[in-house]
Amino acid sequence: MMSCISPGVAHRNPQHQPAHYHQDAPMARITCRLKGSTRPTLPPPEYRPDGRAAVRSAVQHSSPRRPAAAFTLVELLVVMIILSILIAMLLPAVQAAREAARVSSCANNLRQIALGVANFEARNRRFPAPNMPEPLNGNIDPWSVQAQLLPYLELGRMYSAIAFSQSYNLDPDVETADGEVVRLRSLRVPTYLCPSERRDEVRLDGSGEPNHYPLNYGMNMGTWMTFDPQGQRQGDGVFHMGRRGATAASVADGLSYTICAAEVKAWQPYFRNAGILGTLPTPASVGDIPSTAGVPDGDFKSSSGHTEWVDGRSHQTGFTSTFPPNTEVLATVGGVTYDVDWTNHQEGRDPSAVTYAAVTSRSYHKGGVNVAMMDGSVRWFDDDVHIGVWRAYSTRAGGEFLPGDE
C-alpha cells in the first residue's frame, strides 16, 4: 500500500491552501513510499500557477559539448622537427656505444687466440708454425697456425678431422648437424671473425660450392722477409714456415713486447708471385712496393686475401709490419684503384724465390687496430704509431729500445 505524506499540507488545491500560502513559494518535499519499503524518496512535482502539476522532462539538457582540441599543421611540424633533432643527437651516441662493444668483442677474440698460443706452447714446448707437410722447397699448401689452435678454442672435433701430414687442399668433407656435407675448410670459426667484418660469409668456388671461410686476425710473420726456401732462413716474426716453431726462449725481446696477432681485413686485394729474384730491401715508403712502382707483379686477386683460415701463408693468415696499421697501399688495375697487399712469392711455391711480404694490419675500427701480445694481453695501436716502434714490436729478437711511453 502506498502512502504519500506532505508535512503541513492537507490539500494540493490552492483554493484550500492556508491564507499564508503563496503560490510562488517552494513546496515541501512529498514522501511517497510503499509501506515497509526503503526506496529513496522522489522529488516533489513542480506546480504551475494554475495549481496543476507541471510535467518534469525526463531528459536533462546539458550545455553543448566543446569540440576536442587538435594539433594544427604547424604544431605537428614543430614536434617532428624537435624529434628529428633529438634522434640526430642520440644516434651518434648509440652508434659509438655499439662500436665500443664491437671493439671489446674483437679484443676478446684476440685474447682467446693469444691464450691458445700460450696453451699450445705449454703442451708442445714450442709455438705453432705454419705446417709444412712436404719438403720445405716443394710445391706445398701448409696448414695455418689458426688450424693448429682449434683444440684450444674448444673446437677439438674440427682439429681431429685434419690430417696435418697432408696439404690443406686435401681436407676432408664433414657432415654438419643439419645433415649437410661440406668441406672442413668452409666451416666458420667464430673466434677468427671480428664483429665489424662486413662480409661474414663463406667464399664459394667456381661452381658455387662453399670453399673457404674468411678471418680477421693474422699471425705475426715479421717485418718484410718471411721465408727463404734456399737457405731455410726464417722471418724475424714469431711465426714462420717450418715443421718446428719458435721457442719461448727465442723471443728475446720479451713476450710482453712482442706481437702475437693483429687485425686484418678479409676479402683483401693483393698481388702475388712476381718472383723477383735477389734481395729486396725493406720498403721505406709505399712507393717502394713494386705494385705501386710499375714493376710486373704477377697475379692480381681483387678480393681473396685473408679468406682462407686453413692456409698458412702470410697473405691469408698472417700480417707483416712493413707499414703501420691501416696504411693505404694503392695500386690501379684495369682503371680501378685498390688498397692492396703484396707478396713476392707464395711461401712454399718455388724452390728459389724468397718470399717478401707487405701484408698490412687493417681494421674496420676507426683510428687503429687491436693487437694481441705474446703474453696474452691485448693492446690498441693507433694508425699514426711510429713505423720504427711498430716494427720493433713485431720482431722476436730485434733488441730494439722502445720509447719510455711504450
Nearest to 289 by CA among 358, 221, 239, 227: 358
d(CA 322, CA 401): 18
CB < 8 Å & 24+ apart, contacts of 232-237:
232/136, 235/320, 236/394, 236/395, 236/396, 236/397, 236/398, 237/318, 237/320, 237/394, 237/395, 237/396
Which amino acid is it at 182? V
Nearest to 51 by CA among 95, 1, 13: 13
DSSP state for residue 106 in the 8-state scheme: H
DSSP state for residue 340 in the 8-state scheme: -
CB half-sphere exposure, 44, CA atoms < 13 A: 16
Would you say the pTM of this structure is higher than 0.85? no
Question: What mean pLDDT, rounded, does the chain reach?
Answer: 84
d(CA 251, CA 255): 7
For the cut 80, the answer to whether the pLDDT of residue 359 exceeds it is: yes
* pLDDT level of residue 91 (50, 70, 90 thresholds): confident
C-alpha cell at 391: 716494427
d(CA 63, CA 61): 7
d(CA 101, CA 95): 10
Looking at 87-91, 149-153, 201-205, which range is the least confident one? 87-91
Asked if residue 325 lies in contact with residue 383, where contact means CB atoms within 8 angstroms, the answer is yes
DSSP state for residue 27 in the 8-state scheme: P
Average pLDDT value for residue range 168-183: 92
pLDDT score at 312: 94
For the cut 90, the answer to whether the pLDDT of residue 1 exceeds it is: no
For the cut 60, the answer to whether the pLDDT of residue 97 exceeds it is: yes
Q: What percentage of the chain exceeds 90 in pLDDT?
A: 58
d(CA 280, CA 296): 15
Asked if residue 313 lies in contact with residue 241, where contact means CB atoms within 8 angstroms, the answer is no
DSSP state for residue 163 in the 8-state scheme: -
Who has greater pLDDT, 49 or 244? 244
pLDDT in tens, 260-290: 999 999 999 999 998 888 889 999 999 888 7
Three-class SS state of 53: strand
Average pLDDT value for residue range 241-250: 88
The end-to-end CA distance of the chain, in Å, is: 108
Measured in residues, the chain has a length of 406
Q: How far is CA 311 from the centre of its chain?
A: 24
pLDDT score at 75: 84
pLDDT score at 225: 95
For the cut 50, the answer to whether the pLDDT of residue 166 exceeds it is: yes
Cα dist. 327→75, 202, 367 in Å? 51, 27, 11
* pLDDT level of residue 99 (50, 70, 90 thresholds): confident
Angle at 288 between CA 305 and CA 273, to 5 degrees: 40
Nearest to 122 by CA among 83, 95, 149, 87: 149
pLDDT in tens, 298-356: 789 999 999 999 999 999 999 999 999 999 999 988 899 999 999 998 887 878 889 99
pLDDT score at 86: 86
Domain range annotation of the chain: 97-394
pLDDT in tens, 104-121: 999 999 999 999 999 999
d(CA 250, CA 86): 57
Who has greater pLDDT, 131 or 337? 337
C-alpha cell at 348: 712454399
Looking at 15-19, 143-147, 156-160, 366-370, which range is the least confident one? 15-19
Who has greater pLDDT, 110 or 80? 110
pLDDT score at 6: 44
Question: Which residues make Cβ contacts (< 8 Å) with residue 269, sequence separation at least 6?
Answer: 300, 301, 302, 303, 305, 338, 339, 340, 341
Nearest to 271 by CA among 285, 287, 289, 283: 289
Three-class SS state of 308: coil
46 CB burial (10 A radius; 0-12, 13-18, 19+): exposed
* pLDDT level of residue 2 (50, 70, 90 thresholds): very low
Who has greater pLDDT, 60 or 322? 322
Asked if residue 262 lies in contact with residue 217, where contact means CB atoms within 8 angstroms, the answer is yes
For the cut 90, the answer to whether the pLDDT of residue 50 exceeds it is: no
Average pLDDT value for residue range 139-168: 92
Please report which helix (H) or strand (E) contains residue 146, including its range. helix 145-148
CB half-sphere exposure, 314, CA atoms < 13 A: 40
